[in-house]
Amino acid sequence: MAEKHIIVKDLTMAYGDFVIQQNLSFTVNKEDIFILMGGSGCGKSTLLRHLIGLKSPAKGSVFYQDTNFWQANEQQRNKIMRRNGILYQSGALWSSMTLAENIALPLEEYTNLCSAEILELASLKLALVGLSGFEDYYPSEISGGMQKRAGLARAIALDPDILFFDEPSAGLDPISAKLLDDLILELRDSLGATLVIVTHELASIFAIGNNSVFLDSKSKTIIATGDPNILLKECDDQRVRQFLTRGKNHQHQESNS
């Protein structure tokens, strides 16, 4: 039986009196590539913020295995967050630092390694994402796709149990996006990590996702959950089908091109 990594129970997300989503309940299993999907403005990124400790729920719970995250003390929450890695939409690299220095940051803060060991590890993480030899480059000197990969190298610096991604393919051309998808699959397999990804990119959803929730902005709750490829074939809800069928047409066109 699959090990449960994150359990969300009866979660309501709100800004003041304005409810964004309510009654959200789902489970992310170990080594899932779990997709948070839905139309624009449905609350995908807000849900991610609740999962990574940036926004507390109006109601409900987020469990990391047996620990209720929002009822835990600050020390317990920090311990959980140190086991997570986050890749933000922009890559969020420090522009004044080289790639190696960017990856070294979390290692300097959270480990007792000496500077030589940290540099060696930074080079290893860059090699894992296909950026061997780019240690001394600054973010402005590399392409957008390479910046995303460098951001990913920093996210995996501390060998996280769970990786969170916010629109990882945003702004990338189709080839770079496909390379990033392939890299995400490789990292899941090599690290044994669980991945939670906010994305509306249908090619990515079908290529890498094995579990998902679909957030609906009209009813303000989850209207579908499961493997996106199975939802495409079997889900009867028109809103989910409409969202996913664009991908089917897109894939069909690609296979004929």
| Residue 52 pLDDT | 92
Rounded mean pLDDT, 220-239: 94
- Tell me the average pLDDT of the chain: 90
Count of structural domains, the chain: 2
Query: Lowest-confidence range among 27-31, 66-70, 85-89, 234-238?
Result: 85-89
**Helix, strand, or coil (residue 28):** strand
| Residue 91 pLDDT | 63
Same domain for 155 and 170, yes or no, is no
- Evaluate if residue 141 carries a pLDDT over 90: yes
Residues of the chain with pLDDT > 90, as a percent, come to 67
Same domain for 205 and 151, yes or no, is no
pLDDT level of residue 237 (50, 70, 90 thresholds):
very high
Same domain for 257 and 170, yes or no, is yes
Give the CATH number of the domain where residue 194 resides: 3.40.50.300
- Evaluate if residue 249 carries a pLDDT over 70: no
| pLDDT tens per residue, range 66-119 | 899 999 999 999 899 888 998 876 667 899 999 999 999 989 988 899 999 999
Last residue of a domain, one of 124, 159, 194: 159
Same domain for 195 and 227, yes or no, is yes
| Residue 67 pLDDT | 93
**Helix, strand, or coil (residue 247):** helix
Same domain for 155 and 180, yes or no, is no
**Backbone angles phi and psi of 59, in degrees to 5:** -160, 155
- What range defines the domain where residue 34 resides? 22-83+162-257
CB atoms within 10 A of CB 103: 29
Last residue of a domain, one of 114, 141, 159: 159
- Evaluate if residue 253 carries a pLDDT over 50: no
Which among 6, 35, 3 is positioned nearest to 222, based on CA atoms? 35
